[in-house]
Amino acid sequence: MRSKRAVFWMAACGLLIAASSAPAAWQTPGPVDAVQQTDQGVELTTRSGAVLRVSFVAPDVVRVRMTPRRWFERDFSYALAAAPPVLPMVVEGDATSAAIRLRTVQPGGSWVVVETRPTPLIRVFAPDGRLEFAEDSRRPMAFDAADGAVETSVQREQTELYFGFGEKALPMSRDGQYMTMWNSDTPGYVPGLDPIYQSIPFFIALREGRSYGVFLDSTRRTYFDMGKTTPSRYTLGAAGGELDYYVFTGGKDHDAHAVLQAYTRLTGRGLLPPLWALGYQQSRYSYTPASKVREIAQAFRDKRIPADVIYFDIGYMDGYRIFTWSPRDFPRPKELLDALHAQGFHAVTIVDPGVKVDEDFPIYRAGKPWYTRTAAGEELHAQVWPGICAFPDFTQPGARAWFGSLYAGFLDQGVDGFWNDMNEPGVFIPSGWTKPVLVHDPAKTFALDARHDGDGLPGDHARYHNVYGMQMARATFEGLSKLRPQQRPFVLTRAGYAGVQRYSAVWTGDNASTWDHLAMSIPMLANLSVSGVPFVGADIGGFTGSPSAELYTRWLQAAALTPFMRTHSAIDTAQREPWTFGGAYDEINRATIELRYRLLPYLYTLFSESAATGVPPMRPLWFEYPRDVGSWQLQDEFLLGADLLVAPVVQERATTRRVYFPRGDAWIDWWDGTRHEGGSSADIAAPLDRLPLFLRAGAAIPTSPVAQHTAEMAGLPLTIAVAPGAQGEGRVYQDAGDGFGYRNGAFEVDRISVHADRVHLDVPAATRFRRIAALEFLGIDTAPRKVLLDGKPAGETAFDAASRRLRVTLPPRPVRDVELKR
């Protein structure tokens, strides 16, 4: 949606200018006539009747709220994990002042200056006095009195970059882009198409190595012009309601870590997933009948290809009715699921929001109090897979509770996790439609005047569209939590809004089997990650179309170290399992999945950190190296944690690729031990059987022997991979892999510190979990003269000159220090 404001203002007071031939209605709030301090912040009443409210929700987080009316709605947000706090503040100045100054009473906080004439302008300063965020006086905050739209513009430096914005099919940095937030069902979307499935109106700015963040909290259609129209400013706005945004100054270090931690303190953090959900997952639309599911499961075990999850797409249902099984294709579902469990598999079933309108269908009858209504108050009906359907209004607490209770039967049968799809919400074009069908056709979702409860703030679908899918995921998550309180829920959703990480993992929807989509998956997932959503992935090989053997193999490699790893494909595509292409591809794909299982202890440790801090496992390079210009806009590399640099091959027939190594650290090739200095680039050998992978010098990360599924891993010892030659540290987090015992202390954190050629292990004398049984040193050119364990010669070592690896086996007794004598 293009902004309806004019490209320029004829007067600072902001009288109207039309962006088209329609009557002009945009106006600024006008001069401040009154200033009042309340328990919700400082309120500024303006000449137009519009009211601004400014508050501090943390010393480094400022909230600005503007209503074009004379009153604010009840302060409620689906994005926030809890009501935002309001910190005490000091106010300097009043309505007669040219500007007022607001600051927290806490030391080291940010401060705000609000110019009062000719219309309010917000300036946010970091604790060190640097101006971090400044609304643009040439295009100040305004509202459209005709239709209620609101927006503001912010000054920007032309070298400022922007990251986040959730799921966008765009390059890594979003500077120079115009983006809309409107969840849309867009199968086979092309690069550059916007919007698609998820709407997260939050971004992190990078300016000369410093970061700040902005979150526009509106579930309506919102838009962001990040310097595309005018390079000296960016604009953010919403199609109606209040203007409600947060500015995150990044704390004393002005870094992206602090911004993301502050944002996720407000919107919540993803829970630690069950370990099995981090294993490899296999899906197809659809594996039917039951014999096909058994065949797929048995093939994984026979071929010794690790896997943890098999999916059931809509083909498992009886006439596409949710929470049913086809009596013909799946006559004994519990027996089937028991058999999968016996082989170490977990089962995930798809659940759509559409409930078939059928008086003989008990679920339809039971849901009648909870369905979305038309503007006329009738039950909203639209066509999806089962035919004509009704749709729960997930903005009603009662509807969420009812829908969540429906999972009981499937849980009793043995289903382990649930996948919410078609929840943008997406519906089919009505039969008999004679108009051209557009990619973003309004007929592909609910009518904008459909009615929702809004948890006590009733409104139309235009207001609540973007939150519908997230609230479905919430209903699922809360239902599972109530029905199985001792198990960690696994929920996967296609649509979502800011805060969706509290309830669900996310995948990038119906992508396509092209090299462009493979390449695009890296910036898409990295930006979702820094939007507060840690558990993310893309359909391996592309959902629509059929990949070549090479494309599938390279995509599997690229996805091996992303947080969520699933192969999935459409019903009309060629079969797509890791063994489908035969020959050498079988061995390569097996080794790729084995690499993931070897590194699962590290990935699980990163998820434990993410649950505590909001910092995601998958990170763009700039996130860790904000002052390294070379890392800012890389499209085809990412970091797993701070220690593994992953550089997938995303070009057809490539057997080498150029890799940039972030400045400030050296990097050790995982496969041959070659050392690369930070700030350099190199052409790296990348034959079809190799994922270019590098360990940061000074890092120590946990690895595991290969297992066929995660349940086999509990009894296997750990090995710590160490890149010596620099100072650093590592952690190993362990718990039961499921349940919530870790909240009561049933976990262990082993700490490893690296000092050049000496490694110190801080581990319990008697572990309740997996023992560290060995260290592997990477990048060792020659075997050391000796290896000392707590000052005594090591009993067992093995040096491999080809891979430059030294393996040191640890005895059963506790070892504190391991030292290499060169």
- As annotated, the active-site residues are 421, 424, 510
Contact (Cβ atoms closer than 8 angstroms) between residue 435 and residue 454: no
Handedness of CA 183, 188, 189, 191 (dihedral sign): positive
Query: How is residue 301 written in tokens?
Result: 């075990």
- Residue 21's Cα: distance from chain center in Å? 41
**398 by DSSP, 3-state: which?**
helix
CA 127 to chain centre: 29
3-state class (DSSP) for residue 29: coil
Q: Residues 565, 559: contact at Cβ < 8 Å? A: yes
d(CA 263, CA 194): 24
Distance between start and end Cα atoms, the chain: 64
Report the candidate in 176, 181, 209, 213 with the shortest Cα–Cα distance to residue 194. 181
Q: How far apart are CA 622 and CA 24, in angstroms?
A: 42
Which tokens sit at 736?
């039961």
| 199/183 Cα distance (integer angstroms) | 6
- Nearest CA-CA partner of 782 in 759, 808, 805: 805
Query: Can you tell me the distance from the alpha carbon of 518 to that of 540, in angstroms, rounded to the nearest whole number?
Result: 8
Cβ of 741: how many Cβ atoms within 10 Å? 12
The tokens describing 493, both together, are 């959703």
Q: In what order do the strands lie in the sheet with 491-493?
A: 536-537, 505-507, 491-493, 417-420, 346-351, 309-312, 281-282, 566-567, 539-540
Type of residue found at 727: Q
- β strands within 261-321, DSSP E: 281-282, 309-312
Instruction: Give the contacts of 513 (CB within 8 A, at least 6 positions apart).
Output: 541, 542, 543, 544, 545, 546, 547, 551, 573
Tokens of 582: 């035969």
Give yes or no for a contact between 641 and 702, defined as CB atoms under 8 angstroms apart.
no
- Other beta carbons within 10 Å of 253: 11
Q: What is the largest CA-CA distance in the chain?
A: 86
